[in-house]
Amino acid sequence: MNIDETWCRVVCVKIEHLLCWAYVKAKFKLASDIAKNEEAAWFVEQIGRLYLIEAECLRRRLTPVEIKKRRNKSDVGEILKGLRKRALELQQDNAVTTAK
């Protein structure tokens, strides 16, 4: 193991990856459309659920405080947990496949 790998194992585990949902959704949509990938389609659907919640906030003209409260409700948390869980599972599956 070189110094970069050691550093990354120590430091990178504390880094949260943040991406724009529109960018993430577009990548999964492309995979879904081209490869007819069911996993990708599931991610597109879940991100779409988040979009619907945001649209609801806009439609109801919620204040920033009200939007924050809405985003902190359990349904949003469950969607985000599901996305994270599935992404980690895919990442682990990919690591196993790559290691073979």
pTM: 0.71
Report the pLDDT value the prediction gives residue 2, as an integer from 0 to 100: 46
Report the pLDDT value the prediction gives residue 93, as an integer from 0 to 100: 79
Q: How confident is the model at residue 21 (pLDDT cuts 50, 70, 90)?
A: confident
Q: Dump pLDDT digits (tens) for 40-96.
A: 899 999 999 999 999 999 999 999 999 999 999 999 999 999 999 999 998 887 666
User: Closest Cα partner for 42 from 28, 52, 30?
Assistant: 28
DSSP 70-93: HHTSHHHHHHHHHHHHHHHHHHHH
